[in-house]
Amino acid sequence: MCRESAERAASMLLRYKDCIRRYKSRTDDRGRKFKVLGSLREYEMRNGSPVTVSEISRGSGLAMPNVSRLLKPFERDGLIRREKRGRTVYVTITPKGNEALEAQREIFIGDIAAALGILTDTERDAFLSAGEKILQALENNPEILSAGENKC
């Protein structure tokens, strides 16, 4: 791959990130609820089981006490539930948390659908297919990255 293409792709990814950051800044809590609940939901969908506090710690690079502090307001507000099984603590989204996530997610998905609407069906399929391949490479092949042991 030529360097020019890699630089163009890097620029696009950073611009996507900036767009997401601006979107989150318009929410009442600067996107914290959307990010935390969305991450929990995404983990469950990909792995078929709830995430543990230690997995959140490992994946985020935060110490376990910091993860617990981060989760405390969500638990207090009834958005998540922590369940201890032996020495392991699992975190799940409550029905109230699902409602809160879905409300923000619907707005976000609507915005994405509008942006994708400028593409033809062929362009949209190519964009989504290429995007999935890039994400798989970034998430599953740490040997091609300088991101360290936690991958992305």
3-state class (DSSP) for residue 147: coil
Which DSSP string do the residues of 12-36 spell out, in sequence order? HHHHHHHHHHHHHHTSTTTTHHHHH
**Mean pLDDT confidence for 92-121:** 91
For 146, the enclosing helix (H) or strand (E) is none
Cross-strand pairs, 82 = 91
Residues contacting residue 31 through CB under 8 Å, at least 6 positions apart: 21, 23, 24, 25
Greatest Cα-to-Cα distance within the chain, rounded to the nearest angstrom: 52
Fold that domain 29-118 belongs to in CATH: Arc Repressor Mutant, subunit A (1.10.10)
Residues contacting residue 107 through CB under 8 Å, at least 6 positions apart: none
Identify which has the larger pLDDT, 2 or 81: 81
Tens digit of pLDDT for each residue in 10-51? 899 889 888 877 776 776 777 777 778 888 888 888 888 898
Cross-strand pairs, 90 = 52, 83
pLDDT of residue 146: 58
Residue 137's CB is within 10 A of a number of other CB atoms, namely: 11
% of the chain beyond a pLDDT of 70: 89
Residue 54, token pair as written in the block: 């230690």
3-state class (DSSP) for residue 141: coil
pTM of the model: 0.63
Question: Cα dist. 33→37, 100, 107, 150 in Å?
Answer: 6, 8, 14, 23
Domain range annotation of the chain: 29-118
Residue 86, token pair as written in the block: 């032996």
